[in-house]
Chain A
Amino acid sequence: MAYPYTHEKEVRILSKHFGEPEARTVEGWKARGGYQTLSMAFEMGRNAIIDEVKASGLRGRGGAGFPAGVKWSFMPQDGGRPHYLLCNADESEPGTFKDRELLRWAPHQVIEGMIIAAYAIRAEQAYVYCRGEFFETTQILARAIEEAYEAGYLGKDILGSGVNVDITVHCGGGAYICGEETALMNSLEGRRGTPRIKPPFPAQAGYMGMPSTVNNVETLSSIPFIIQEGADAYRANGTAESPGTKLFCVSGHVRRPGNYELPLGFPLMELIDDVCGGMKEGRTLKGVIPGGSSVPILNAEECANCEMSFEGVIAAGSQLGCAAVIVMDDSTDIVKEVRRMVGFYAHESCGQCTPCREGSAWAEKILRRIEEGRGTEEDLDTLMEVTSQMEGTTICVLSDSVAAPVQSSINKFREEYLSRIRTGEKAGVA
């Protein structure tokens, strides 16, 4: 087996060719049925593509879960001004590691999806905003794009259709916040990566003030299948509200962490116990962060009946986010891990908004004090209040992301904080 992390319960659509080096090449991709959807799409026309994507119910895979087809339909219908398609490959949410896999194993899948999307939204120029650290990955992508140009899939008059699409890879410089779509546009413009106030929304004024659409790598990678097989085939997987398959990035204390492509709605415990081989020897589940570090922690009880769909995780008390499942067993030091996550947000806050800039650093300091055994019970109230002052008061939701782990962990693992405060000793099983 080429790709080490597979499981028979997987439904491998996006990840079908992971681990096959030949699938990276344009010839190899074609041999696997790639690039057939371009002429199909150009024949369908823009509206039909958008309708098909709408019908598929595909929801954005970057975290917010906004329906992709609906987002595309916000783009102005007339020409005149340049439109831009921006592929969000800034993957930096702690726990997430799917976009890099998609880019390095199936680069042509993303390219194919981008060509269709660009055509649908009337963009002739598309950018892939790649996380700067992905040097190896971006070089694979760059090579694949070069091959696509050589094969006539990119550039002017693609396959004689009259459609023009250029793709440029743009590398970031190391800043999580540039994954936020408006910060991404600022960064692409050569500015500090600070999020912009909305409105105006990207479809009105995005990159260079022009109509723009931002989509995640996985969202765009899903497009060829939808065009090829149709919306119904796509909906054959997943739930009514969350159709399709999704790459679940499982990390932490499971035996077989990795990326697993499963239908949305897949039970969380089955993912952990069966697909990922369960907890490590002799350990029990303490909690799970189901959607990347920005969403509330679930305790073991809440995990029991959680279904991994957008609606299912909300029902369980958290959010699906980008389906980055971080599993923590009973050895986990909650105070330390929460402090580490909050430290991340403090480090990555762009610093515009006062609550985020000051609050994230403050919360980190308090948590560090507690971790070092110098906390007081009052600190917990302060943390709850400080983080609540950070919710809904800022330009982007990074600030809210600090509140999620802090508040959920204090609510659900208060005893652990208290014992740290009282004894200075970390909880959890050694």
Chain B
Amino acid sequence: MSEARRIPFNNPGWAGNTGEFQLTEAQVRGDEYVGKRPPEGGHPSGTSTYPYMLAEKDPEAPLFEGAYQERFEKIRSRYPDARSALLPSLGMAQELRGHLSPETMEQVAQLLGLSPAYVRGVATFYTMYNKRPVGRFLIQVCTNISCSLCGGDDVLQAFLNNTGTEMGETSEDGNFTVMEAECLAGCGFPTTVQINSRYYENVMPKDVPEILERLKAQGE
């Protein structure tokens, strides 16, 4: 990521397709500023901010060992009780394993002294915790009002067509799962698409093949 990459097409992961825009994608996304975040967690104040929708997943990964154990403890230390650490802990479990299986929920429950049923109730309340495995790339297309007004449905359809999948199903090569998303707070830059932990904005149906190629090629 050291080489300042020019924005390759008109949907640079942010709003700038007016032609007046002088920044690189990395600058917009803040990649350079954030840098590589260590698995044990940087400063404990931000230990819950790690992306937990990643391409590489290991459903068998232990919960939590080594650096992750260290991060888990940092998370715990930021709250007055163990229960409050539940959401970040579920996030970290998903970061490692890709989804929250019953076993994962049970293990997280045990780590925090909660009942498995309780954890299931919480995990299923929130839509970002995958309750079943998803592809390497989870593509979530906003079709809510602002994007809808500007063609969000067509973008969603383009993703489905180009990946050859049904909504919510994973493509045969295991690469893509396409879902409809609620408003992603990118309404001024329609259509907004979240792919794993990154936003793609101003996406048009015609951009879709290029985005998919890029994902396959560079991994993220």
Contact = CB atoms under 8 A, between A and B. Distances in A.
**Taking the complex as a whole, does A directly touch B, i.e. does some CB pair lie under 8 Å apart?**
yes
Interface of A: 1-2, 4-5, 19, 21, 24-25, 82, 91-97, 99-100, 104, 125, 130-143, 145-146, 149, 154, 166-176, 187-193, 208, 249-253, 256-259, 289, 293, 324, 326, 328, 332, 336-337, 340-341, 344, 347-348, 350
A32 to B, nearest CB: 15
B127 A174 contact: yes
A176 B182 contact: yes
B186 to A, nearest CB: 6
Nearest to B186: A97
A137 B31 CA distance: 10
B87 A92 contact: no
A175 B84 contact: no
Contacts of B79: 168
Give chain B's interface secondary structure class: loop
Nearest to B86: A190
Contacts of B30: 21, 24, 104, 136-137, 139-140, 143
Contacts of B49: 130, 135, 138-139, 141-142, 169, 171
Interface centre among B21, B29, B48, B146 (most CB of A within 10 A): B146
B5 interface: no
B104 interface: no
A contacts with B: majority SS:
mixed
Given A189-B84, A326-B187, A340 B33 contact: no
A350 B125 CA distance: 8
A341 B145 CA distance: 6
B143 interface: yes
15 contacts: A21-B23, A82-B80, A93-B183, A94-B146, A104-B30, A135-B51, A135-B53, A136-B199, A142-B49, A145-B43, A169-B49, A170-B88, A174-B127, A190-B114, A193-B125
B182 A2 contact: no
Interface of B: 15-18, 20-23, 27, 29-30, 32-35, 37, 42-46, 48-53, 78-88, 90-91, 112, 114, 121-123, 125-129, 143-146, 148-150, 182-190, 194, 197-199
A188 B122 CA distance: 12
Q: Which of A92, A137, A173, A250 gathers the greatest number of chain B CB atoms within 10 Å? A: A173
A190 B144 contact: no
B187 A96 contact: yes
Given A95-B146, A135-B53, A145 B45 contact: yes
Contacts of A133: 128, 184-185, 194
B123 to A, nearest CB: 8
Contacts of B21: 1-2, 4
Contact of B185 (A82, A92, A125, A170): A92
A92 B187 CA distance: 10
A5 B149 contact: no
Contacts of A1: 20-22
Contacts of A169: 45-46, 48-49
A172 B182 contact: no
Nearest to B190: A251
Contact of B183 (A21, A92, A145): A92
B80 A208 contact: yes
Contact of B48 (A125, A154, A171): A171
Given A251-B187, A336-B148, A348-B182, 10 more contacts: A4-B18, A135-B197, A168-B44, A192-B121, A193-B125, A208-B84, A249-B187, A253-B150, A257-B188, A340-B145
